[in-house]
Amino acid sequence: MDFTAGLMPLETALTQMLDRISPLQDVETLPLGRGFGRIAARDIVSPLNVPGFDNSAMDGYAVRLADVATGNALPVAGKAFAGQPFNAAWPVGTCVRIMTGAPVPAGCDAVVMQEETEQTDGGVRVTASVNAGQNIRRAGEDITLGTVVYAAGQKLTVAELPVLASLGIAELVVVRKVRVAIFSTGDELQLPGQPLQEGQIYDTNRLAVHLMLEQLGCEVINLGIIPDDPQKLRAAFIEADNAADVVISSGGVSVGEADYTKILLEELGEIGFWKLAIKPGKPFAFGKLAHSWFCGLPGNPVSAALTFYQLVLPMLAKLSGNTASPLPLRQRVRAATRLKKSPGRLDFQRGILTRNAEGALEVSTTGHQGSHIFSSFSQGNCFIVLERERGNVEAGEWVEVESFNHLFGG
Ligand code: AMP
Ligand code: MG
């Protein structure tokens, strides 16, 4: 019997989700210093040249090539400091003492670094050959006035915000945060801090999802634990749908008798229930409620975190207007250990990526890969992504790995 028939490939599910949603259009204005992690809502055009003026890259002497060519020592006509230009007349046959960042005086062909000069009674003698333009940082060399520095959709981080500061930009127009309502479903779930009754377990998924959403810069509306009771679930879905752009639940999406999510969502919205050809994480739901998008994560914690990471994260990235690829690049490395795998589903095993004695990257397994072994995220630092049709992997075979991003400590 083929247990993999009817399973949807991850890429198909992802394409179907991403094709349907479009980025939020609402924007907000923020001071530059509060923009970390936000998405630019408009193209950011440079109001300045950077550098703003030709300036010295070295501490040394500003010279004219014709004066250097004479071989004469050059008396020092004056000094230029960063923030204090040399504006006096610059007589032929002299040089100007100049510090890093100071504007070069008009007519200057090059800056000679201090180490390539010697002091003589007659002035400064240049001891090395001098090329036109050397040690001069040209106006607009980094960023030219009027060009688009960052296109709309750029995520603004420590790589971008200081550049905007260098342009004198004090305010940002960014896409508003995505609002996400979350809840866990299950009669067996208990809050940490409360005693467990027989058969109860602590709610893991809601914290995992809440933390990931916060790290992604979403606004989280946390509706707690909802029991497997159709009335209470219906009320939770309606409250979540009214409050958020996206509703994320966990549990109740498989085919057990207390799995009401499917029935309710058929009533309240338009929902696709998918059995995905991935491991862990087979059951996953996606669809549209009256006002929001819905994602139903599987109950098993590793499956919930994995489907969030591989499916919900790209969806949230698109909704937030972020145009960059949301997940780290995959790379090919050798397996250092045997990896158990049966054909039929795309596997996301947790692995440990290290450098071996020869300096090459290699990956080993974190051990037990059960969908309840959440500690594997902490032991590992990457996913080992094993193709759908692949079977067991022997040590030494090539495999693809995807390093964890910052959500899992990467
Ligand atoms: P379900 O999809 O609701 O049948 O749940 C599948 C498995 O995941 C069961 O063993 C549940 O007890 C467990 N589970 C469901 N929700 C959670 C949760 N929020 N935290 C930890 N385990 C859960
Ligand atoms: Mg359940």
1 within domain boundaries: no
Q: Determine the Cα–Cα distance for residues 361 and 363; give it in Å rounded to an integer.
A: 7
Kindly report the backbone phi and psi dihedral angles of residue 148, in degrees, each rounded to the nearest multiple of 5, phi listed first.
Answer: -80, 115
- Closest ligand 1 atom to residue 204 Cα is 20
Same domain, 306 and 393: no
205 Cα–ligand 1 center, Å? 8
Q: Which amino acid is at 253?
A: V
Note the pLDDT tens digit of each residue in 64-107.
Answer: 999 999 999 999 999 999 999 999 999 999 999 999 999 999 99
* Residue owning tokens 């296109």: 151
Asked if residue 262 has pLDDT above 90, the reply is no
Query: Is the N-terminal amide bond of 280 cis, ω within 30° of 0?
Result: yes
Comparing CA positions, the residue from 10, 77, 42, 102 lying closest to residue 402 is 10
CATH number at residue 369: 2.40.340.10
Return the higher-pLDDT residue of 5 and 112. 112
387 within domain boundaries: yes
Q: How far is CA 57 from the centre of its chain?
A: 33
Q: Is 290 left (phi over 0), alpha (psi -120 to 50) or beta?
A: alpha
Asked if residue 1 has pLDDT above 60, the reply is no
Query: Closest Cα to atom 6, ligand 1: which residue?
Result: 299
Note the pLDDT tens digit of each residue in 317-359.
Answer: 999 999 998 888 999 999 999 999 999 999 999 999 999 999 9
Return the structure tokens found at 181.
Answer: 């309502």
5 within domain boundaries: no
Task: Give bridge partners of residue 69 from the DSSP assignment.
Answer: none
Asked if residue 410 has pLDDT above 70, the reply is yes
Name the domain count of the chain. 4
Return mean pLDDT, the chain: 94
CATH number at residue 203: 3.40.980.10
Same domain, 17 and 100: no
Asked if residue 273 has pLDDT above 80, the reply is no
Return the structure tokens found at 178.
Answer: 């995505």
Same domain, 261 and 195: yes
Q: Which amino acid is at 403?
A: S
The strand ranges marked E within 83-178 are 95-98, 110-113, 117-120, 123-126, 136-137, 148-150, 171-175
198 within domain boundaries: yes
Same domain, 302 and 183: yes
Same domain, 37 and 158: yes
397 within domain boundaries: yes
258 Cα–ligand 2 center, Å? 6
Kindly report the backbone phi and psi dihedral angles of residue 304, in degrees, each rounded to the nearest multiple of 5, phi listed first.
Answer: -65, -45
Same domain, 203 and 310: yes
Note the pLDDT tens digit of each residue in 184-222.
Answer: 999 999 999 999 999 999 999 999 999 999 999 999 999
* Domain stops at, among 256, 289, 319: 319
50 within domain boundaries: no
- In the structure, which protein residues have their CB atom closer than 6 angstroms to any atom of ligand 1? 184, 186, 188-189, 201, 203-206, 250-254, 256, 298-301
283 Cα–ligand 1 center, Å? 12
Task: Give bridge partners of residue 346 from the DSSP assignment.
Answer: 278
Same domain, 163 and 183: no
Report which bound ligand comes closest to the CA of 184. 1
Asked if residue 113 has pLDDT above 90, the reply is yes
The CB-side HSE value for 253 (13 A sphere, CA atoms) comes to: 29
Task: Give bridge partners of residue 332 from the DSSP assignment.
Answer: 400
188 Cα–ligand 2 center, Å? 8
| Model confidence band, residue 5 (pLDDT cutoffs 50, 70, 90) | low
Compute how many other C-beta atoms are within 10 angstroms of the C-beta atom of residue 399. Answer: 23
Task: Give bridge partners of residue 274 from the DSSP assignment.
Answer: 284
- Closest ligand 1 atom to residue 303 Cα is 8
90 Cα–ligand 1 center, Å? 80
**CB distance 301 to 372 below 8 Å:** yes
Output the pLDDT for position 281. 84
Note the pLDDT tens digit of each residue in 29-42.
Answer: 999 999 999 999 99
* Domain stops at, among 319, 345, 367: 319
CATH number at residue 122: 2.170.190.11
Same domain, 22 and 32: no
Same domain, 189 and 295: yes
| Model confidence band, residue 265 (pLDDT cutoffs 50, 70, 90) | confident
**CB distance 217 to 180 below 8 Å:** no
Comparing CA positions, the residue from 97, 88, 104 lying closest to residue 53 is 104
230 Cα–ligand 2 center, Å? 12
260 Cα–ligand 2 center, Å? 9
Same domain, 90 and 224: no
Q: Which helix (DSSP H) or strand (DSSP E) does residue 306 occupy?
A: helix 301-307
Asked if residue 256 has pLDDT above 90, the reply is no
264 within domain boundaries: yes
By most ligand atoms within 8 Å of CB, the mutation choice from 182, 185, 189, 200 for ligand 1 is 189
Residue numbers of the domain that contains 359: 331-408
- Closest ligand 1 atom to residue 206 Cα is 19
Asked if residue 298 has pLDDT above 60, the reply is yes
Task: Give bridge partners of residue 249 from the DSSP assignment.
Answer: 183, 296
* Residue owning tokens 């630092």: 381
Asked if residue 386 has pLDDT above 50, the reply is yes
3 within domain boundaries: no
By most ligand atoms within 8 Å of CB, the mutation choice from 300, 303, 374, 377 for ligand 1 is 300
Same domain, 281 and 365: no
* Domain stops at, among 137, 166, 186: 137
DSSP state, 11? H
Same domain, 302 and 223: yes
Query: Closest Cα to atom 11, ligand 1: which residue?
Result: 299
| Dihedral, CA of residue 29, residue 30, residue 35 and residue 38, to nearest 10 | -30
Query: Closest Cα to atom 15, ligand 1: which residue?
Result: 299
CATH number at residue 171: 3.90.105.10
Asked if residue 388 has pLDDT above 50, the reply is yes
Report which bound ligand comes closest to the CA of 225. 1
